[in-house]
A and B are shown apart, each in its own frame.
Chain A
Amino acid sequence: MLLVLALASTVCFVIVGGGVGLKLLLLARRTRELPEFTVGLGFFLVALVGYPLGLAALAPGVDPAAARLAFAVGTVAVSVGSASIFVFTWRVFQPDQLWARLLAWAAIAGLAVVAWLGISDVEAGQNGGRLVDLWLVPRQLIVGVSYTWTAIESLRWFGLLRRRLRLGLADPVVANRFLLWGLSGVFASGGIIGSTAVALTGHDPAGHPVSMLCIGLAGFATSISIYLAFLPPLAYQRRIAAASPS
């Protein structure tokens, strides 16, 4: 049951995240602006490349060499995608702050190093032939920081726009988009915390009931949030606008 939940939510995230990523990359091609490119690239790489290849690598009966290749490419995709989210948060929310620049570059460097170390470990067979590398925890922690940081910034802006809404100085749908993006960061962080906690106890998070439950719930919640944020149906937008205090 938990396996079905985790798989269904992963498929849901691949479809929704991939759709959002493609939409934002197409938007970036038209506008030539960095924010839509970075967040679009992040979703595209994580949802459409990283997750499917990560699952393929763990599938039973897959040739070991092909599984290692899928693991390596998937790890690089997730790392580059997470780096894109760091750049998005830095450039959109704190473009003039030195600490934000340093945090983003430190995270990018960290992602590159732990991805390289993780792939090297698996290639060298240093983890008993398993595809869960020894560098999973640090990699997950850095990815978790990317979602947590963007959630904090976005929810802070939602607070500002709620005040503007009372004065008719903000678009309620845009304010709601900040809330949804912030919530998606909270949900994604929750999923990562759950699976990382399992890894820290010495268990393999792939297949463990706690991590499957966390990934399943977080995957669905994140998918719904980003769908409503970036691909909002007209009926949803009308409902948000009608409920606005302005």
Chain B
Amino acid sequence: MSLTNSQSFEFVCDELESRSELDRLAARGTVRIALKLAGLKASTVTAEQMRVVLERVIPKELTARGIENGDALSSALSSGLDQVETAISTEDPEAVFKRLGGGT
């Protein structure tokens, strides 16, 4: 697994920091916690996966941090993900195990 974070993660962190009262550390921490709750990693999360996290997990995390417009903010961040390139170069274990159960 790459040690660098995915573009989806960086995009959402940057946007969350600029559109909310959260500072850089708090914004990144909030997204990391949401990803952990979803069983995802900052290094490999794709735009598609991040959209689901923005819809189902991050609004609750924002509310817990006193941000009132969590749903609207998450929706805006999700729309912005369209412009993010999320090609992951490394193959993760999930893809390998999916293939191992397939036919020959």
Interface size on A, residues (CB 8 A): 36
Let me know if A157 and B100 touch, CB within 8 A. no
How far, in whole Å, are A23 and B99 apart by their CA atoms in the complex? 12
Pairwise interchain contact A171-B96, C-beta atoms closer than 8 A: no
Pick from A26, A33, A96, A177: contact of B97, CB under 8 Å = A177
Q: Measured between alpha carbons, how far is A177 from B98 in the docked complex, in Å?
A: 8
**Residues of the B chain whose Cβ atoms lie less than 8 Å from the Cβ of A36:** 99-100
Complex interface: chain A residues within 8 A of B96 (CB):
33, 35, 92
> Which residues of A lie under 8 Å from residue B38 when comparing CB positions?
163-164, 167, 169
Q: Is the interface of A mostly helix, strand, loop or mixed?
A: helix
Instruction: Judge whether A224 is part of the interface by a CB distance below 8 angstroms.
Output: no
Which chain A positions have C-beta within 8 A of B93?
92-93, 153, 157, 178
Checking A26, A95, A161, A230 against B100 with a beta-carbon cut-off of 8 angstroms, the contacting residue is A230
Question: Is A160 in contact with chain B by the CB < 8 A criterion?
Answer: yes
- Whether the Cβ atoms of B104 and A157 lie closer than 8 Å is no
Q: How many residues from B make CB contacts under 8 Å with A?
A: 23
- Closest-by-CB residue of A relative to B104 is A26
What 13 additional pairs, Cβ within 8 angstroms, besides A27-B102, A36-B100, A163-B38?
Answer: A27-B99, A27-B104, A35-B96, A157-B94, A160-B40, A161-B94, A164-B38, A164-B40, A167-B52, A168-B52, A178-B97, A229-B101, A232-B101
List chain A positions with a Cβ less than 8 A from chain B: 23-24, 26-27, 30-31, 33, 35-36, 39, 92-96, 153, 157, 159-164, 167-171, 173-174, 177-178, 181, 229-230, 232
- 7 interchain residue pairs of minimum CB distance: A163-B39, A160-B39, A26-B104, A164-B39, A35-B96, A174-B98, A177-B97
